[in-house]
Amino acid sequence: MITTPQYEQIPYNKCGNSGLYLPAISLGLWHNFGGQQTPEKVDTMLIKAFEMGITHFDLANNYGPPPGSAEAQFGRALKTVLAGHRDELIISSKAGYGMWPGPYGDGGSRKFLISSCDQSLKRMGLEYVDIFYHHRPDDDTPLEESMRALEQIVRSGKALYAGISNYPAEKAREAIQMLKSWGVPIVIHQPLYSMFAREPEQGLFQVLEEEGIGAIPFSPLAQGLLTNKYLGGIPEKSRIADPDGFLQKDSLTESVLNKIQTLNEIARKRGQSLAQLALVWVLRQKAVTSALVGISSIKQLQDNLAALDNPELSESEMNEIEKILNS
């Protein structure tokens, strides 16, 4: 049973120049919401997130594991614990990475993107998603073909807004201007961005500000490196200890360990955790509308949202962080 969402507990930021507002922290269902998770735990985390003011839930066709299962779990929750709240939610999905075998299950073709959107809607039991993204640029498909697919998805009522993800600066500008010229509401870009992945600062954020597009960085905690989990090395059963995981042991070099330990001291002086400092640092960017976090527990959710209790970084703190990151 859902209690009334505490909308006043979390700031909502304008997504670029659009009329769409997103919570400063959004919930991504990349890990921990797929078929390997119990429906009860999924429901508990979704309910708590919504009650705490998180209105934006970010999915993709291949989220799980296995692929598709996160959307299926979320669709089940929409019919049960979240029933009656559809119009209070922003639900996004994407397509672009491998989803099914054969030549039509990957990339950026019109065939793949429109089929993927239809499958995502079916899994979630929805008539439309609020945002549908092309998940990554595909060099084997003309950009216009991919963008025309997004145009049709929006015009057919299957999505309210279009988005792009993982597009570098100039390709993003080209895609955005293409969609704008056709009157398609492109409002958001989802890049990889954190203290340890700063490529969007090399032109992408400037493009997004100039074009009036919001940014919603994924992996702002660098897959958990920017948390207290690895301050003492690699614990057993951690994501980095999994040889088949996305994050590998060679990510935690001595240099990286020294940086996270020193950054943790800055966080401690601010009365924050390392993860909270990392989220505040990402949100400092003018182009950033929301930071996308994943969680495996209610405590992680609460800790992430507590970052918003102390959202400002002083000039001296910024300079100190910059010095550490460049060391």
The string of DSSP codes covering 122-146 is: HHHT-S-EEEEEE-S--TTS-HHHH
Q: Distance (Å, rounded) from C-alpha 293 to C-alpha 304? A: 8
CA nearest neighbour of 224 among 304, 325, 321, 290: 304
- Taking the whole predicted model, whether its pTM rises above 0.85 is answered as yes
pLDDT tens, residue by residue, 218-252: 999 999 999 999 898 766 655 555 555 555 556 78
Element (H, E) at 291: strand 291-293
What domains appear along the chain, each with residue ranges and CATH number?
8-230+282-311 (3.20.20.100)
Q: Distance (Å, rounded) from C-alpha 191 to C-alpha 200? A: 7
pLDDT tens, residue by residue, 50-70: 999 999 999 999 999 999 999
CA nearest neighbour of 217 among 188, 260, 243, 246: 188
Looking at residue 99, its pLDDT comes to 96
CB atoms within 10 A of CB 212: 15
* Average pLDDT for the chain: 94
Q: Answer yes or no: is pLDDT of 185 > 80.
A: yes
Contacting residues for 64 by C-beta, under 8 A, at least 6 apart: 34, 35, 36, 70
Q: How far is CA 247 from the centre of its chain?
A: 17
Q: Distance (Å, rounded) from C-alpha 49 to C-alpha 7? A: 11
Tokens read off for 291: 């930071």
Looking at residue 5, its pLDDT comes to 79
Q: Distance (Å, rounded) from C-alpha 117 to C-alpha 300? A: 30
**Bridge partners of residue 192, in order along the sequence:** 218
3-state secondary structure of 28: strand
pLDDT tens, residue by residue, 289-307: 999 999 999 999 999 999 9
Looking at residue 249, its pLDDT comes to 59
The answer to whether the CB of 71 falls within 8 A of the CB of 123 is yes
pLDDT tens, residue by residue, 21-56: 999 999 999 989 999 999 999 999 999 999 999 999
Q: What is the mean pLDDT of residues 90-100?
A: 97
Q: Residue 93, CB half-sphere, CA atoms under 13 Å: how many? A: 34
CB < 8 Å & 24+ apart, contacts of 112-120: 113/146, 113/149, 113/150, 113/153, 114/149, 114/152, 114/153, 116/61, 117/93, 117/153, 117/158, 117/159, 118/158, 119/61, 119/68, 120/59, 120/61, 120/71, 120/93, 120/95
pLDDT tens, residue by residue, 131-172: 999 999 999 999 999 999 999 999 999 999 999 999 999 999
Looking at residue 2, its pLDDT comes to 81
Q: Distance (Å, rounded) from C-alpha 265 to C-alpha 259? A: 10
Q: Distance (Å, rounded) from C-alpha 277 to C-alpha 71? A: 30
Tokens read off for 7: 């909308």
Polymer length of the chain: 327
* Alpha carbon separation from 24 to 14, 105, 118, 151 (Å, rounded): 10, 33, 29, 27
CA nearest neighbour of 150 among 173, 191, 124, 180: 180
